[in-house]
Amino acid sequence: MKACNPTLLTFVGLVLLGLVAACTAAVPPQSTPTAPPAVVETGQLPRMRGEFFSASGECGFCHTALKDSSGKDVSIETAWRASIMANGARDPYYRASVRSETLQKPDYAEAIQEKCAVCHLPMGFQTAILKGESPAFLPDAGYFNPAHPLYPLALDGVSCTVCHQIKSDNLGTIESYSGGYLFEKEPKPGERPAYGRFAVDDNMAAVMRNASGYQPVQSDHVTQSELCAVCHNLYTPYFTNEGELSAELFPEQTPHLEWLASEFSGISSCQACHMPAAAGEAPIANTGSPKRSPFMQHTFIGGNRYLLELLAANLEGLKVSATAEQLEQARLLTVEQLQQNTAQLSGSVRQEGDELIVEVLVEVLTGHKFPTSFPSRRAWLHLTVLDANGKTVFESGGWQADGSITGNDNDLDELLFEPHYQVITQPDQVQIYEPIIGDPDGKVTTTLLRAQRYLKDNRLLPRGFEKTQVNPDIAVYGEAANDPDFLGGGDTVQYRIATAGFTAPFRIEVELLYQSFGYRWAEKFRGQTDNPEALEFYRYTDQLPNAPSIIGSLLLTASKP
């Protein structure tokens, strides 16, 4: 690409300032690497231009006011700022978890924070490392402290100049997993590459360099699932009974590897589902950029509805850059994703004497296990049978206001867990699709520093997943491994219900429910009075019941033969 001469650059800059219709506001004054930390305002994107990374406020003003062919607003900054990616550092559960782990192993506090920061707050972390500073981010002296010079970068989560600076060099390799992404580690002011799917002409490239300090570079690797895998295949060490850090690694979350084992790996990428294409064409910037297709929306829609609600209810406390309206839009898109693109129910019912036999089929639509990623997540079947008089004949999988599941062994006792079922006959038996982690002694744990194995993993498998042939890191564990109808694409559960003494016809209501924070995971810090982030987490969550999301529902009726 030929360089732009100074005269043309000046001309382009003047034209840019005059494009009022294309750019909604003039470019604000730029911060510099040596400037004091900017004040981070609630509802505003953080501003900071660093040597290696810049906060989203340096990008947002040119990537807003964008509309697709249908007239819908598809502004990149608007969609992104309300995403879980943008709020990866603000997540109060994440903060409480890191503090909890450091309190248990204070001698390893910096190493723990380093492991967690590389993907949750990569700009602050990587900048600190490159400058030879401490990787600690907890606010005592770390860069979660608002007085710290790196605070704007740390708070900005998984921001624009992280993903768009990752090189293609090692993608898809084991070395790239667990935050092993590569980027340009020399300062190179004004020449740092920002990779994108589309080629940008010289004039527009000059505008971007002048406005942000980054040079756009076309590369298809930003469209590939391997880019996401750098943080969405995560392996962690654990502490042995002797107090040593293990050489063996635990597969804490592996959605990319699960996707590779599914039929979706040859059909659809991570981006196709989590960054859905806009209708027709849309410009990628408001500086006179031509319209492009496909334009991938930066919504990064997943399943964490509850966290979005926590953020919306605590905008000021968590210094959220999104507005309540933007977070509500993200919540609605999340609910739509959960209800339309996750799983669906079907089934049948028959009466045999005084026994009602219900078959429930859960069909999975995701390209990885459901639930997947962080092991606090769980889904379960809630089945209720009512007789002709409205009396409850049977109920399995009811839930309480505190987020616990009625009859679930693990919610009743942290050392137990509910098994996987092929047949359910009692109300205290619940089909819960979840990972249960074991420590080196084989005991149930929610402490990641002790996570050595899976005692149970019956999370629903995507289509094409062959459970007997996959890598042990993504295998099925527990009774589900021997369940002949627990297969790639779904699971079938049979309920056998005694109906003697009740009046037909019977109404059978089934729901597939989902929580991003299972009860035992949500309550794990409750007694940690020395954990300030945990106290903050409970201040928020005690005001917002941990109600599950409804993924799908089914209604059946049965009369006696």
Contacts of 152 (CB under 8 A, 6+ apart): 37, 38, 40, 46, 47, 48, 55
* Tens-digit pLDDT profile for residues 342-356: 999 999 999 999 999
List, in sequence order, every beta strand (DSSP E) within 464-505.
Answer: 490-498
- Is 287's pLDDT higher than 60? yes
Q: Would you place residue 24 in the very low, low, confident or very high pLDDT band (cuts 50, 70, 90)?
A: very low
Contacts of 97 (CB under 8 A, 6+ apart): 116, 448, 525
DSSP three-state, residue 312: helix
Mean pLDDT within 400-412: 97
Query: What's the rounded Cα separation, in Å, for the pair 529 and 361?
Result: 44
- The candidate with the shortest Cα–Cα distance to 204, out of 76, 20, 63, is 63
Instruction: Identify the helix (H) or strand (E) that includes residue 558.
Output: strand 549-558
* Tens-digit pLDDT profile for residues 445-481: 999 999 999 999 999 999 999 999 999 999 999 999 9
pLDDT value at residue 38: 61
- Is 11's pLDDT higher than 80? no
- Is 407's pLDDT higher than 50? yes
Q: Are 514 and 338 in contact (CB under 8 A)?
A: yes
pLDDT value at residue 34: 43
Q: Which comes out higher in pLDDT, residue 35 or 522?
A: 522
Q: What are the extents of the domains in the chain?
A: 6-224+274-295, 342-558
- The candidate with the shortest Cα–Cα distance to 340, out of 73, 549, 122, is 549
Query: What's the rounded Cα separation, in Å, for the pair 431 and 422?
Result: 9
Mean pLDDT within 241-264: 97
76: left (phi over 0), alpha (psi -120 to 50) or beta: alpha
- The candidate with the shortest Cα–Cα distance to 144, out of 96, 187, 85, is 96
Mean pLDDT within 82-104: 98
Place of tokens 């003697």: 500
Instruction: State the maximum Cα–Cα separation within the chain, in Å, rounded to a whole number.
Output: 91
* Tens-digit pLDDT profile for residues 494-520: 999 999 999 999 999 999 999 999 999
Query: What's the rounded Cα separation, in Å, for the pair 384 and 506?
Result: 10
- Is 220's pLDDT higher than 80? yes
Give the distance from CA 463 to its chain's centroid.
21
- Is 31's pLDDT higher than 70? no
Q: Are 252 and 235 in contact (CB under 8 A)?
A: yes
pLDDT value at residue 9: 31
